């Protein structure tokens, strides 16, 4: 999840441009508007009252060398209000509004070092890997960027936290068991419970609209070679995100179900407002491996439907709590650069 150090009207100006539907024939998305312009902007998530977004941003040209957490006020379309919420030091990920919309949850490495932790070194085998920094802990900040409290204190990876719509629980990913599993805790960080236990990376979890279920991405190495490779990478603080499927379970871990069986990378899932469908990003249909589009599937694994078809990267979808809008990250409309920006659209079933 991503980033900002100053108010960046040039970097994150709210656009009222509505893209013509003959150039973006995506029938569920109407009135698509671009919210950020330049850099790497991702994991934008709504406040409980639908009026704000929290997101992570990397923009080296603007003095943001690695992900920091920012907040955008959607009510101020003429003069967008974007605030730095994290400390501006270290690296952050996975922010989410707390109940009441007066605080934001995020993971950060800032206590370990002011500097950005180094990315994984290039590998001879060319594998694309995600770092699992063992200095990530989960913090809560107010809307002015003051860190109010630290709610995990484990030497290891604690990150990818999101909050139940009911406002009672937080789900997050941790390696405290020796593997990357899902855990829940109460809003104050107490009563930590392990939810998953299968070997492999379980992460990016979100609650269902009624707060009774979780949807998440998971890898499940099966062969001896896959298991050995997974364990070796994990010992190096790395994970390969190139083979993941979408799973659901109850919030106590029961009724675990694999929803997709598509191959390649299926990730960034989020429940449709009905609770009966799941939207997610996938490159399973790509012949070159990189083209990520949004898809939707019934919660029983039937009825796969492609949602986006513009540009080669669309991910991190989230429906607004009122079900009227969707926010997502995309590299559409970036002029051939590597920029990823945040877009918002009206949702049409």
Residues in CB range of 224: below 8 A, 6 or more apart:
none
Tell me the per-residue pLDDT of 246-295, one tens digit each, with 9 for 90 and over.
999 999 999 999 999 999 999 999 999 999 999 999 999 998 768 999 99
Specify the CATH superfamily of domain 29-347. TolB, C-terminal domain (2.120.10.30)
Name beta bridge partners: 293. 282
The confidence band for 79, taking pLDDT boundaries of 50, 70 and 90, is low
Residues in CB range of 225: below 8 A, 6 or more apart:
none
Tell me the per-residue pLDDT of 256-267, one tens digit each, with 9 for 90 and over.
999 999 999 999
CA-nearest of 218, 294, 303 to 256 is 218
This model's pTM is above 0.95:
no
The confidence band for 7, taking pLDDT boundaries of 50, 70 and 90, is very low
The confidence band for 23, taking pLDDT boundaries of 50, 70 and 90, is very low
Whether 77 shows a pLDDT value over 80: the answer reads: no
Tell me the per-residue pLDDT of 187-205, one tens digit each, with 9 for 90 and over.
999 999 999 999 999 999 9
E-state strands within 111-256: 130-131, 137-142, 147-150, 158-163, 169-174, 181-186, 193-194, 202-207, 213-218, 238-239, 245-250
Residues in CB range of 76: below 8 A, 6 or more apart:
14
Q: CA 15, CA 303: separation in Å to the nearest integer? A: 34
Q: Which two tokens stand for residue 251?
A: 């919030």
CA distances from 150 to 1, 78, 125, 180 (A): 18, 35, 38, 21
E-state strands within 251-334: 257-258, 266-271, 277-282, 293-298, 305-306, 314-319, 325-330
């Amino acid at each position: 999840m991503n980033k900002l150090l100053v108010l960046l009207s040039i970097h994150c100006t709210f656009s009222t441009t509505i893209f013509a539907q003959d150039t973006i024939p995506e029938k569920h998305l109407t009135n698509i508007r671009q919210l950020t312009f330049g850099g790497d902007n991702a994991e934008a998530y709504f406040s409980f009252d639908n009026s704000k977004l929290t997101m992570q941003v990397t923009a080296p040209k603007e003095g943001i060398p690695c992900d920091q957490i920012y907040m955008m006020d959607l009510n101020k379309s003429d003069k967008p209000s974007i605030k730095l919420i994290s400390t501006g030091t270290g690296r952050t990920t996975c922010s989410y509004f707390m109940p009441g919309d007066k605080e934001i949850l995020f993971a950060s490495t800032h206590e370990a070092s002011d500097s950005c932790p180094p990315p994984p070194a290039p590998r001879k085998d060319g594998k694309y890997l995600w770092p699992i920094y063992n200095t990530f802990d989960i913090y809560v900040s107010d809307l002015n960027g003051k860190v109010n409290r630290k709610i995990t204190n484990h030497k290891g990876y604690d990150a990818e936290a999101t909050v139940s719509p009911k406002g009672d629980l937080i789900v997050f990913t941790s390696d405290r068991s020796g593997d990357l599993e899902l855990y829940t805790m109460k809003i104050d960080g107490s009563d930590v419970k392990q939810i998953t236990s299968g070997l492999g990376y379980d992460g990016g979890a979100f609650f269902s609209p009624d707060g009774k279920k979780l949807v998440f991405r998971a890898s499940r190495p099966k062969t001896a070679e896959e298991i050995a490779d997974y364990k070796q990478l994990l010992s190096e603080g790395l994970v390969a995100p190139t083979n993941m499927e979408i799973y659901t379970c109850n919030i106590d871990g029961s009724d675990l179900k694999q929803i997709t069986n598509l191959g390649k990378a299926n990730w960034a899932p989020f429940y449709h407002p009905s609770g009966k469908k799941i939207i997610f990003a996938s490159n399973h249909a790509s012949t070159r491996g990189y083209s990520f589009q949004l898809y939707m599937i019934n919660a029983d694994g039937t009825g796969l439907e492609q949602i986006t078809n513009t540009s080669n990267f669309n991910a991190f979808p989230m429906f607004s709590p009122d079900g009227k809008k969707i926010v997502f990250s995309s590299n559409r409309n970036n002029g051939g650069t590597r920029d990823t920006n945040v877009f918002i659209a009206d949702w049409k079933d």
